[in-house]
Amino acid sequence: MGHVDGNAIAGSLAEIFPFDVTAAVGRCAHCGSTGMIGDAMVYFAATGTIVRCANCDEVLAVLVETPSRIWLSLSGVRGLTLPT
Ligand SMILES: [Zn+2]
């Protein structure tokens, strides 16, 4: 399954966060590496969108959108640093 970069989910995340999350720097909870969310690897699947670490390939985030809800898990992100 091919992937695109994290900028592909900018629109979906803009419905949740009032800032550009793709410009945020996140720390992977698995390998500890840091990188911009926009540089992560995004895989679109029928069940949802999976965001994987560009360094270790572990799952950073899962996004599921239905007609009435957006469900977001950031369980693989230890923290985010945002520009002010
Ligand atoms: Zn990682």
* Centre of ligand 1 from the C-alpha of residue 40, in Å: 10
* Centre of ligand 1 from the C-alpha of residue 9, in Å: 19
- pLDDT (tens, 9 = 90+) of the chain, 84 residues, equals 689 988 888 888 888 888 888 889 999 999 999 999 989 999 999 999 999 999 999 999 999 999 999 999 999 999 999 878
* Centre of ligand 1 from the C-alpha of residue 67, in Å: 31
User: Distance between CA atoms of 5 and 31, rounded to whole angstroms?
Assistant: 19
* Centre of ligand 1 from the C-alpha of residue 12, in Å: 22
Print the SS3 string covering the chain: CCCEEHHHHHHHHHCCCCCCHHHCEEEECCCCCEEEHHHCEEEEECCEEEEECCCCCCEEEEEEECCCCEEEECCCEEEEECCC
* Centre of ligand 1 from the C-alpha of residue 19, in Å: 23
Place of tokens 């399954």: 1
Rg over CA atoms, the chain: 12
Domain boundaries, the chain: 4-81
pLDDT for position 83: 78
